[in-house]
């Protein structure tokens, strides 16, 4: 599939490349979204061939046809131009930086091109403003269905795995962030028919993260909500040192306290991809440790994209198509100048695009893989898939119909797993394992 895509792209590149490589020839002004995409791919191809001077000239044309406030393709081009410019800077080719966007506190974390010779840690500044990132995450959760779809479906899988007279439930949530997944599950537990023989179970959540203050605030919010429901609840923060999830695999399961009467659920929503490197050893070690905990259910949600390609051009093509679908979905469902949309595109997705396009080696963090890879790895360590229920499907359809009433969102069931995408492009997958 990718090979044929690259072959077809080479045909698209030929006319544009001839203009770019000629010093005296003017690059024709692109007129359509297709032409803009063609020029982006041509520019990436030039960079992959180390023709940096030609790529720089082409970036100038692309920059003049992009805007963080234009239509979907202009916004998309803007983010990829910034990422390609940053990649050129890594090769010692300074470019004219795109104007810095002005949304929320965005200038604190989205920077113009850094000095030449910047290393792979150039994107670490994104973590400097946690409040802005928190605001963006909550906006992303509201204006797109993908996170809520993942949370809702994972919650239903957990509820079905632990139903029936269970005295205690322990959920290990890897990267709990702000805990927005758990109030609906807590409400569902409190609303279950109960009597003196089977009161609502005790709920314990172990939440991992890299900021102890955020973990404590998350635990306090969840505790207050549980108390309002009359639900017995405990929260245990588990700090990840140096923001490195791989260190966790080294001391599991000793870092987790398990009680004999607990039903254990492990939640990995948009988390496993952080273990991906040039090989799979750390990820497989982590999955083996999870399997040794003997959970009743493991929920896995991930991007449906292959951003772990070692070759830059292949990775660029995957990212371009993935984020085009995301930007198109926002274009169809939100007003052009919606404040939350601007922040999500420029900060959250912009950060991801910069990482995928501009970073290399150990410094690259956004290493997504498609569902087939996760399925193969989970099965290799002994996990079996648990089919998601018809009720989970009904809930997901209701979520889309009530909150995101656009016909562009597509929900598919393949291999007993759910895939949510835009038009014909799958963007997120969720599955349940035992």
Which tokens in the block code for residue 343?
A: 């922040």
Domain shared by 108 and 149, yes or no: no
Residue 112: the pLDDT is 34
CA-CA-CA-CA dihedral for 72, 368, 218, 167, to nearest 10: 130
Burial class (CB in 10 A: 0-12, 13-18, 19+), 144: buried
Q: Are strands 417-422 and 425-433 parallel, antiparallel or unpaired?
A: antiparallel
Whole-angstrom CA distances from 266 to 94, 169, 343 are 46, 11, 31
Residue 194: the pLDDT is 62
DSSP string, 139-168: HHHHH-SHHHHHHHHHHHHHHHHS-SS-SE
Domain shared by 11 and 122, yes or no: yes
Domain shared by 232 and 288, yes or no: yes
Domain shared by 281 and 422, yes or no: yes
Distance CA 156, CA 386 (A): 12
Residue 406: the pLDDT is 81
C-alpha closest to that of 30 among 1, 68, 73, 72: 73
The Cβ of residue 50 has, within 10 Å, a number of other Cβ atoms equal to: 9
Residue 409: the pLDDT is 95
Mean pLDDT of the chain: 84
Find residue 172's DSSP bridge partners. Answer: 206, 266
Nearest-Å Rg of the Cα atoms of the chain is 23
User: What string of H, E and C letters represents the secondary structure of 240-260?
Assistant: CHHHCCHHHHHHCCCCCCCCC
- Report the number of distinct structural domains present in the chain: 2
Domain shared by 244 and 156, yes or no: yes
Residue 304: the pLDDT is 97
Domain shared by 45 and 121, yes or no: yes
Alpha-helical (H) ranges within 334-389 are: 339-343, 350-358, 371-380
Q: Is 297 helix (H, G, I), strand (E, B) or coil?
A: strand
**Per-residue pLDDT tens over the stretch 375-424:** 999 999 999 999 999 999 999 999 999 988 888 999 999 989 999 999 99
DSSP annotation of 348:
I
Helix (H) or strand (E) holding 364: none
Domain shared by 151 and 294, yes or no: yes
DSSP string, 400-424: HHHH---TTEEEEEETTEEEEEETT
Domain stop point among 328, 346, 363: 363
Residue 26 lies in domain: 2-139+311-363
Domain shared by 385 and 419, yes or no: yes
Residue 246: the pLDDT is 64
Domain shared by 159 and 254, yes or no: yes
Whole-angstrom CA distances from 388 to 171, 290, 399 are 18, 20, 16
Distance CA 143, CA 165 (A): 37
Domain shared by 315 and 230, yes or no: no
- 37 Cβ partners below 8 Å, 6+ apart? 73, 320, 324
Q: What is the CATH number of the domain that holds 218?
A: 3.40.50.150
Helix, strand and coil content of the chain, in percent to the nearest 5, comes to 55, 15, 35
Q: DSSP E strands: which ranges in 62-192?
A: 168-173
Write out residues in the chain with pLDDT < 70, as ranges: 1-31, 95-129, 164, 194-198, 242-251
Domain stop point among 347, 363, 379: 363
CB 345 within 8 A of CB 330: yes
Distance CA 303, CA 427 (A): 6
Whole-angstrom CA distances from 390 to 5, 156, 393, 416, 430 are 36, 11, 5, 11, 14
Domain shared by 38 and 183, yes or no: no
Domain shared by 110 and 48, yes or no: yes
Domain stop point among 348, 363, 378: 363
Find residue 426's DSSP bridge partners. Answer: 421
User: Order of strands across the sheet with 168-173?
Assistant: 233-239, 202-209, 168-173, 262-269, 297-303, 425-433, 417-422, 409-414
């Amino acid at each position: 599939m990718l090979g044929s895509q690259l072959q077809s792209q080479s045909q698209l590149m030929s006319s544009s490349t001839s203009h770019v490589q000629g010093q005296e020839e003017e690059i024709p002004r692109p007129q359509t979204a297709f032409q803009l995409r063609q020029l982006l791919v041509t520019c990436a191809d030039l960079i992959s061939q180390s023709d940096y001077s030609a790529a720089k000239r082409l970036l100038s044309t692309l920059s003049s046809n992009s805007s963080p406030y234009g239509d979907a393709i202009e916004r998309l081009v803007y983010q990829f131009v910034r990422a390609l410019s940053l990649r050129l800077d890594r090769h010692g080719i300074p470019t004219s930086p795109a104007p810095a966007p002005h949304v929320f506190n965005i200038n604190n974390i989205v920077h113009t091109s850094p000095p030449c010779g910047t290393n792979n840690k150039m994107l670490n500044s994104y973590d400097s403003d946690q409040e802005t990132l928190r605001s963006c995450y909550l906006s992303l959760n509201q204006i797109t269905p993908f996170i809520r779809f993942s949370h809702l479906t994972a919650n239903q899988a957990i509820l079905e795995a632990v139903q029936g007279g269970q005295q205690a439930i322990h959920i290990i949530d890897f990267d709990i962030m702000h805990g927005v997944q758990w109030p609906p599950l807590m409400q569902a537990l409190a609303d279950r028919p109960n009597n003196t023989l089977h009161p609502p179970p005790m709920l314990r959540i172990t939440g991992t993260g890299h900021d102890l203050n955020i973990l404590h605030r998350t635990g306090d919010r969840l505790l207050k909500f549980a108390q309002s429901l009359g639900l017995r609840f405990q929260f245990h923060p588990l700090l990840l040192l140096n923001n490195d999830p791989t260190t966790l695999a080294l001391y599991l399961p000793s870092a987790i306290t398990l009680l004999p009467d607990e039903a254990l659920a492990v939640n990995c929503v948009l988390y496993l991809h952080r273990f991906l490197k040039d090989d799979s050893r750390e990820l497989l070690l982590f999955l083996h440790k999870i399997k040794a905990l003997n959970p009743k259910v493991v929920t896995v949600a991930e991007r449906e994209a292959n951003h772990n390609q070692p070759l830059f051009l292949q990775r660029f093509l995957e990212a371009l198509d993935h984020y085009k679908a995301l930007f198109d979905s926002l274009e169809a469902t939100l007003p052009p100048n919606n404040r939350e949309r601007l922040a999500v595109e420029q900060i959250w997705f912009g950060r991801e695009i910069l990482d995928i396009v501009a970073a290399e080696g150990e410094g690259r963090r956004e290493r997504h893989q498609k569902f087939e890879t996760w399925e193969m790895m989970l099965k290799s360590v002994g996990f079996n898939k648990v089919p998601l229920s018809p009720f989970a499907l009904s809930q997901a359809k209701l979520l889309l119909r009530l909150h995101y009433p656009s016909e562009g969102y597509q929900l598919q069931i393949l291999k007993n797993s759910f895939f949510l995408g835009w038009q014909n492009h799958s963007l997120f997958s969720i599955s349940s394992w035992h």
